[in-house]
Structure 1
Amino acid sequence: MRKYTALFFLIMFMIGTDTFLISPLLPTLQAEFGVSTGAAGWMLGAYTLGSAVFALIAGPLSDGWNRRIVLLGGLLGFSISTILCGFADSFWTMCLFRFLAGVSAAFTAPQVWASIPAVVPASRIPKTMGIAFAGLAASQALGVPIGSWLAVTHWSVPFWTVGIASLLLMAVAFFLLPDMRPGTRERTSILRRYVPLLTSGKARSGFLAYLLLHLGSGTAFAFVGKWMADRFALPIGQIGTVMMFLGFGTLLGSIVSAYATRKLGSTRAVAAGMSLLIVLYAVIPRLTVLPVVTVGYLIIFATLGIIFPIAMGALTSLNASIRGTISSLANSTMNGANTLGAWIAGLLYVHLGGYASIGLFAAVCLGLSLAMFVFGGVLGRSAARTGRESASAS
């Protein structure tokens, strides 16, 4: 089982690294292609747009196909489109290749979450989920410096490196992964695959809780760099160092997520973690000592690293026959919440008291998310341990 764990970790690391890769390259690419600052942002947005939109299609389609083939095809497309980014000769070709990379990621990443319960014993699912998420967390911590270091020679080198490495990873996946065919050959339309989620109260509660979780955390994260620059007069280099440090907090949390679940149960782990987050989000904006703030955010990111794999595991267990649909919808929910959170953060920061209002908004979102997770019966497996959700889970 370790071979699957390592494979899923590396796939998520590659996808995550590609997601964050372009951020340190943006000033260079803006000058290379001669575009304005506002237009340059589309080199970032094209990727997330492709990923968010096509995830809604990729998931339902993959539930009727062999997951192994879908994952391999997604990795191949991801590798080629990322390599092509290194050959882009204009702003529009870069946006096109970034969009195609996002589309390919939409077919690849959800298959990781959907494949874990299919190839890993039930007792190891939480740990494998945590390690796969650790790959994403590690990319968040290392994506910016990796992009910067590789771009010293030329801006195209990071894209070629990630693309070629992903191509090699696809070859490994080809030999390691077994076939994962659907249990039924019945042809079902894309929209009909969402019906079980729309008609299930537990599923509605779960996705609303997941939306609120990412909305709160995404809103707080969107302007934390701006706030640190304003409050502590940090230059961009030091802000990047702090962000990398916080990324390692997420990595640490994702690694211990399975242990926390095993010791506390899903419900208690999520309840304790979110309660801590609510307090920290409300208090940290009022602190004036940078080391204390940094430690506080390290705790926040480590706690989120614990919670996210538990939440994803709870969602994918809602319906085993449509795990691809669930994983893809979760991916779109996350991207949508983060996009909305960035917009809300800007309004709150400028018009409603700065970062303190953002912290309060995040705390309220986390409180509502916790209520939906617990009282919606989403964390049903922990109910058997705690005895608190047996009625709703039955």
Structure 2
Amino acid sequence: MNKRLALFFLIMFVVGTDTFLISPLIPTLQKQFHISTELSGWMMGAYALGYALFALIAGPLSDGWDRKKVMIAGMVCFSAATILCGFATSFWTMFLFRFLAGVSAAFASPQVWAAIPALFPPNKIAKAFGITTAGLAVSQALGVPIGSWLAVTNWSYPFFVIGAGSLLLALLIAFIVPELKPAQDAGAPSSLFGRYVPLIKSGTARGAFLAYFLFQFGNFAAFTFIGKWLTDRFGISVGAVGGVIVFLGLGNLVGSFGSAAIINKFNRFNTMAGAILLLIVCFLVLPHLPALAAVAAVYLIIFAVLGTIFPLMMGMLISLNPAVRGTISSLANSVMYGATTAGAWVAGLLYALFNGFAAVGLMTAVSMGASLLVFMASGVLAVQGAPKEAAKLNNNKA
């Protein structure tokens, strides 16, 4: 793993840790701020909302700027906002600081995905996507649980540690990443929102992004309340939840590193279809398992499958139009965090209304089934579909 790839891995690690940190802390923060279950999901949703809204602007802007400078500025602001979360005194101050952290991340992390095709040869791109995605997996396997264990002493500590780490990464970006000026994406539309025109005109792109939204809506609806459900169902502590997530995150890590090999063996259509069908079965069965060990085993499968198909999804989306990689990457992240916001809110309502996780699991299964159907209808899963669509999009550039 070269220095740049290791740096991208670490950036996704700290961003992923910050993104998912609220999930195991919800029971603690719910008591700390005296808020309801329905409202508690918004502590994760606030970050996602800030990201989703501002990524729509950050993407087109970054396609016209030096990606390195955008990445550094985003990480510095992300560090400050995350540290401020540790000083939150109420639900609304936490909401504000989480929102600002999401806005900052919207300028930082998409640059990583957009930079990969510019910095690595074509035969190494799939591997680079997999290793970078593994940073997110490790954030679940180690970052989130470490945050949970730090929170046992004081819930503020994880935010301080993540903020300090993010600032260090901003310094490393300055020394390791070369300039990535817009000339590397020659041929992109010049106007800010004109960069979205090729995507809006493409039926394949519209379908792919809708399918991605449906998938992440179900995925994050289920993930947001994993900590609360494990606490309510099995009576375990926040620290114990961290231990369970270590186990689950290892599955995600294995899936991320093995993603390229699996896709090469089975092709993108078979990999996506088989993975989503397996996830549907798992989420339908999960809420009804009687023992923590059985729940952990099924979640291990879920996380391994998610680790396998996330690089596939990102690779398909990025390949739609090489001229606007930053716009596509930011839009993909905006869609993901928009889905996270909606999923966290709906999951909170369902969890409270039906007093448990069964309704959330059912909703996740239905969302993922709909996602697979839309992916298939869009044509993006065809083995040669994305490259053909990329050429079509380039011919339609505004």
Fold match by TM threshold 0.5: yes
1:211 to 196, 210, 213: 213
Deviations 1:181-227 (A, max 9, x none): 22349874433222211111110111011011112222333444555
1:270 to 269, 272, 279: 272
Change in 2 beyond 3 A, CA 1:49/1:366: closer
- Does the CA contact (< 8 Å) of 1:58 and 1:106 recur in 2? yes
Rounded Cα–Cα distance in structure 1 between residues aligned with 2:210 and 2:300: 26
Percent identity between the two aligned chains: 56
Unmatched segments (≥5 aa) in structure 2: 393-398
Residue 294 of structure 1, CA deviation: 2.0
Q: Which letter maps to 1:285?
A: P
2:35 maps to what in 1?
37
In structure 2, the CA distance between the partners of 1:27 and 1:228, relative to structure 1 (3 Å rule), is closer
Distance 1:281 1:35, change over 3 A: closer
* Structure 2 equivalent of residue 333 of structure 1: 335
Indicate the SS of the match to 2:64: coil
Does structure 1 retain, via aligned residues, the 8 Å contact 2:44–2:224? no
- Structure 2 residue 52 is matched with structure 1 residue 52: yes
Worse overlay, 329-338 or 8-17: 329-338
Comparing 290-299 with 239-248, which one deviates more in the overlay? Answer: 239-248
Distance 1:359 1:320, change over 3 A: same
CA distance, structure 2, for counterparts of residue 59 and residue 20 of structure 1: 23
Distance 1:289 1:181 in 2: 53
Aligned to 2:246: 244
The answer to whether the 8 A contact 1:106-1:328 is kept is yes
Deviation at 1:158, TM superposition (A): 3.6
| Contact 1:257 1:306 (C-alpha < 8 Å) held by counterparts | yes
Counterpart-to-counterpart distance in 2, 1:236 and 1:154: 12
Aligned to 1:296, what secondary structure does the other structure show? helix
Compared with structure 1, are the counterparts of its residues 367 and 148 closer, same or farther at alpha carbon in structure 2 (3 Å cutoff)? closer
The one-letter code of the counterpart of 1:167 is L
Cα displacement (A) at 1:237: 4.6
Question: Alpha-carbon deviation of 1:27?
Answer: 7.5
Deviation, 1:149, is 4.3
Query: In structure 2, how many angstroms separate the alpha carbons of the residues matched to 1:3 and 1:206?
Result: 32
Partners of 1:64 and 1:185 within 8 A in 2? no
User: Structure 1 307/166 Cα, relative in aligned 2: closer, same or farther at 3 Å?
Assistant: same
What letter corresponds to residue 300 of structure 1 in structure 2? I
Matched residues, number: 388
Give the aligned residue type for 1:102.
Answer: G
| Gap change, CA 1:41 and 1:296, over 3 Å in 2 | closer
Deviations 1:40-81 (A, max 9, x none): 776555433322221111111111111111112212222333
AA in 2 matched with 1:288: P
Q: Partner residue of 2:396?
A: none
Counterpart residue identity of residue 276, structure 1: L
Which residue in 2 is equivalent to 1:199?
201
CA contact 2:81–2:98 (8 Å) conserved in 1: yes
Say if 1:110 and 1:327, in contact at 8 Å, map to a contact too.
yes
Deviation at 1:229, TM superposition (A): 4.9
Matches within 5 A, 1:363-378: 363-378=365-380
Aligned 1:67-86 pairs, distance under 5 A = 67-85=67-85
8 Å contact kept, 2:45–2:341: no
TM-score, normalized by length of structure 1? 0.85
Higher RCO, 1 vs 2 (CA within 8 Å, ≥6 residues apart): 2
- Greater shift, 6-15 or 241-250, is seen at 241-250
Write the letter of the residue equivalent to 1:292. A
Q: Is the 8 A contact 1:215 1:338 kept in 2?
A: yes
Q: Which one of the candidate residues 304, 318, 322 is aligned to 2:324?
A: 322
* Cα gap change, 1:136 to 1:61, in 2 (>3 Å): same
In structure 2, the partner of 1:283 is 285
Q: Which amino acid aligns with 2:384?
A: A
1:318-375: CA deviations, max 9, x gaps?
1112111111111121122122223333444555696444433322322221222233
Matches of 2:112 and 2:272 in 1, distance apart? 22
TM-score of the two chains, using structure 2 as the length reference: 0.84
Distance in 2 (alpha carbons) for counterparts of 1:357 and 1:89:
33
More off after superposition, 102-111 vs 85-94: 85-94
The answer to whether the 8 A contact 1:48-1:102 is kept is yes
1:306 is aligned to 308
Q: Which amino acid aligns with 1:325?
A: T
**Which digits, 9 at most, give the CA deviation of each residue in 1:154-182, with x for residues without a partner?**
65544443233222222222122122222
**Aligned-residue offset at 1:303:** 0.3
Matched, 1:16 2:10: no
1:113 is displaced (CA, Å) by: 0.8
